[in-house]
Homo-oligomer: A and B are copies of this chain.
Amino acid sequence: MSPLLECRDVSVRYSDVVAVSGLDLNVDRGETVALLGPSGSGKSTVMYAIAGFIPVAEGHISIAGVNMSDPKRTRPPEIRPVGLVFQNYALWPHMTALENVAYPFRRAGDSGEQATRLAAELLAKVGIGGLGDRRPGELSGGQQQRVGLARALARSAEIYLFDEPTAHLDSLVRAAVEEEIRRRREELGSAAIYATHDSEEALAIADRVVILREGRPIQVGTPVDIYERPTDEWSARLTGPVSAISGRASSEGRGRVQVQVGDSSFGAESASPVSKRAVGVLIRPEWVTPGGPINGRVVGVAYRGPHTDYTIATDHGEVVARVAGSPKLAEGEQSGWTIQRGWVPPGSESE
């Protein structure tokens, strides 16, 4: 069976700016994919191309086996089975929240009454059941975003596109929205694509994550892959704090290496077999635990609620360690640490 969405070697341009290039992406029914990339990396552009707002300059996009976009032809948005949450919401200012949400129902042929009822239900689901009579201008930013979400969900689509859908939503509402999307996925086999710069969100909700950098997909993988085995330091930083230190690696087979730094060594995974080579090793903060052979001075303390991040200056470079609880060490203190594991990304060897 062909995938629900197929993007093959897609490039998209804004007159002279190439916003996306070489994008290959298949999404199956029921799957959730996250597009993760920094600001300006082309996430919204990918969404717009899938929704049919901009033509592709190269490649093609098909949905459910039907060719939708190629450089010659862009089929119009209304015939694509797609629901979209806009990054900037794009609510219609002349309609109330309820009318905004009822709109897709009306277009799908529901009676006015029916559409209003369904829209009211959706608004209640996203937690603003009482605000249906307000115009977008009379709602707070997050409330507007929820109207945008409800409007997208009002279209019964095969692919839902969410462009930064929770940028202004607190965790409580976020959970409700994620729940609704999961339900649709399971009940209707819809797929969902999230565009987000929030790696935590991407890793938490997606089955697969695509990392975009300057319009190019540089890594595609499961959340665990993306987090623990990033393709390079840049991607690693995108998904959370990471420290890079250099050491000498010796292979232990089956992707495992032993890394020697100063007097001590620690085990790490490696993308490619390496032996007796100087490598850059990436270390996540939670892979560093307090107490142990590696000594350093605390140069930064950041309390992050559930945990505290310490930046430790060691002889081999700065390392960030994440320890549960509120700060227990102060800046300037000396202490010992253990590196539990590391990751040697591909092509990170040097002479």
Contact = CB atoms under 8 A, between A and B. Distances in A.
B305 A172 contact: no
A298 interface: no
A305 B141 contact: no
Interface in A114-155: 128, 138-143, 145-146
A200 interface: yes
Interface string A26-40: 000000000001111
Contacts of A302: 204
A304 B203 contact: yes
Interface residues on A, range: 35 or more
* Most B Cβ at <10 Å: residue of A17, A139, A145, A303: A303
Given A39-B141, A44-B141, A325-B286, A172 B237 contact: yes
A227 interface: yes
Contacts of A142: 38-40, 197
Contacts of A163: 141
Contacts of A306: 227, 240, 284-286, 322
Interface string A198-230: 111001100000000000000000011001100
Interface string A263-290: 0000000000000000000001110000
A326 interface: yes
17 contacts: A37-B170, A38-B142, A38-B172, A39-B140, A39-B143, A39-B146, A39-B170, A44-B140, A45-B140, A88-B88, A172-B237, A172-B238, A199-B305, A200-B304, A203-B304, A203-B305, A239-B305
